[in-house]
Structure 1
Amino acid sequence: MSNLDSIVGHGSALHREARDWLLCLTSGQATARDANAFKQWCGQSRAHAQAFAETRLLWENLGPAARAVSQRELSRTTPPAEGEPVRDESRSPVAIPARMSRRAFLGAAVAASAACLLLRPPLRLWPGWSDWMADYRTDTGEQRQIQAAPGVVVEMNTQTTINRLASRGQQLGMELVSGEVQIQTAAQLAEPFTLLAGAGHVHLPPGTQCNIRCSDKQVQVTGLDGTTELVYRGRKVTLQAGERVSYSEQTIAAVTIVDTELAMAWRRRVLIFDNQPLSEVVNEINRYRPGKIVITNGTLAARKVHARFSLNQLADVATLIHDAFDARVTSLPGGIVLLS
């Protein structure tokens, strides 16, 4: 095995296929058919998914040195001469340039900056690739209801991504990758419904309603009706209506009492803020409107806010903040607004 193979995912067949998929999906020419084919490839086994995740991680972390390699490689690349054998692309999971070597992949991984924009968009101005590949997703400002299973209704809030959990064709539950959902289980449900969120498993027995939010690997579970059970790294936490527990990958907080009306406000297309810093308010508002509001003044960011916004008002929210705090508003292309 060459040193280069060891860098590019150990040189295994799966990692080479994952590299080919990554090049295809970030080429700017990927189609819906490519997306479906990739989903089938990735779903063949945990090893397939892991190979792609490792290859994508390499893509995101390659340094500037690879850019120079790319330029040298591309400058030497010439079209095949007449009569020269051409790679049979029909046998490859995706079509890639016939002369694309692993060294070129290293350079292309950095030089093709569109890849990083696709996988991790700046300021979340558009959906990332994981969003597009999800079983269910909502766009900015969109809310959606799905029937997750017989007797299980899931209300999806804005910027929410959900995947089905299945084994051998049997659905085991769902995974909340990011965003916010409210789940209602029917009283006649035969067994609890399970939702994976971060490091925890949320179990909803029949006749239960709860709200689950997952943002930046921080998860909040709020009981709304009935009894909700959270299993976090072997520890069980039971929530009644009006109780909330928060956790991350590393730790779990104590159960607290919350106002369920606030937790359910988004279902009425309303945002309610009670003595929260403006920075938190803006972060929440950004989930519902196109573009991005950015606070550039620390003092302004710390100002406390008591407010109630209809989601229909959010197009004018910068003006409302200007009027309330005498903030300077600078509008930029792409819906980006600077507050100072």
Structure 2
Amino acid sequence: MKVTGHELAALPKQASANDALNPYKEALREHFPSREALLQEAKRQTQRQRMLKKVTTGVTFSIAFAFTWVIDPVWHREEMHTMVGQQASFDLKDGSHVDLNTNSVLVVEQHLYSRQLQLTQGEALFTVQHGWRPFTVFANQTQIRDIGTIFNVRNTDDGAVVTVVEGSVEVRTANAQRILTKDISVTTQAGTISESRCTSANVAWQQGRLVFDGTPLQEAVAEIQRYRQAPIVIQDSKVGLMRLSGEYDINAIESLLKTLPLSLGIHVNYQTDGKVILSK
């Protein structure tokens, strides 16, 4: 290629112009990133957005999980009950088994993370199917948590009576906590727990029996009354202190009452409305 004189003369001038613009170019580069820098920054922003999305998703899931754990929603609820003098057996959704004694009401709630049962009145024997969800029974300000067992719970006016047949349970009240093992029975009252050895009388109802061993008649009558609609009245306080022993058929309460004149020498007076009065 042939270069003319005029072109040769122009080259130094053009180089001089470029040299003069270099400072401005460098200043502009400081304020405006290059194409490569823009691509790198865009890539970093994409990575940050992906990471933020993962973190947000994880936090949202954790919050949702924690919320459902705290709320522990009910997915199944059922109520079981028996009439006076009636006993019944029920199989629960989780495979556990419940025997209800006379005049009892049990509300069973299968929660997402727990099994909660409210014995609002009466008595029940629980045979628990073990699982990862805790099995807890509530009865008159008493909480009974299954650890691996068969246990009996009776709702009383002042608290509850808990008897372990097999395994162990944890009993809690407002002021006390106790682990019970086989053949141990406790009575809760006003937030306290009193412990005693289990007697056959605690669970004799399972075999259809009432067992009394030198029991004051006033206490025995309170137990008998659970299986009878019409009231039994002790007219004389001294009669209430007499002691009754023996085993009796739950389904023959009237026969039991008729034996009292022979066993205790007291008078049993039947009223027209079914009421029974016990006197000297």
Q: Give the alignment's TM-score, normalised by structure 2.
A: 0.67
Secondary structure of the 2:273 match is helix
The answer to whether structure 1 residue 221 and structure 2 residue 162 are counterparts is yes
Q: Distance in 2 between matches of 1:314 and 1:211?
A: 23
Q: CA deviation at 1:275?
A: 1.0
Q: Who is 1:34 aligned against?
A: none
> Runs in 1 of length 4+ with deviation above 6 angstroms?
none
| Aligned residue in 2 for 1:251 | 191
Tell me, which stretches of 5 or more residues in structure 2 are unaligned?
1-77
Tell me the CA shift for residue 170 of structure 1: 7.9
* Counterpart selection for 1:209 from 150, 155, 160: 150
For residue 166 of structure 1, report the CA deviation from its aligned partner. 6.3
* Aligned equivalent of 1:195: 137
Deviation digits for residues 163-189 of structure 1 (CA, Å, limit 9, x no counterpart): 23466x887411011111110113x43
- Please state whether the residue corresponding to 1:255 is helix, strand or coil: strand
* Paired position in structure 1 for 2:247: 308
Residue 181 of structure 1: aligned partner: 124
Kindly state the Cα deviation for residue 245 of structure 1 after the two structures are TM-superposed: 1.5
Residue pair 1:164, 1:171 contacting (<8 A) in 2 also: no
CA offset digits 1:22-46 (Å, max 9, x no partner): xxxxxxxxxxxxxxxxxxxxxxxxx
Question: Does 2:225 match 1:286?
Answer: yes
Distance 1:329 1:255 in 2: 36
What are the equivalent positions in structure 2 for 1:136-147 lying under 5 Å apart?
136-147=80-91
Q: C-alpha separation between the residues in 2 aligned to 1:329 and 1:317?
A: 11
Aligned length: 202
- Match of residue 320 from structure 1: 259
1:127-166 residue pairs with structure 2 within 5 A? Answer: 135-165=79-109
Q: Which amino acid aligns with 1:147?
A: D
Structure with the bigger percentage of strand: 2
Given residue 197 of structure 2, which amino acid in structure 1 is its aligned partner? I
Point out the structure with max Rg over C-alpha.
2
Q: CA deviation at 1:192?
A: 2.8
**Aligned partners of 1:318, 1:236: CA distance in 2, in Å?**
40
- Normalising by structure 1, what TM-score? 0.56
Aligned partner of 2:273 in structure 1 is 334
| Preserved contact between residue 175 and residue 191 of structure 2 (Cα < 8 Å) | no
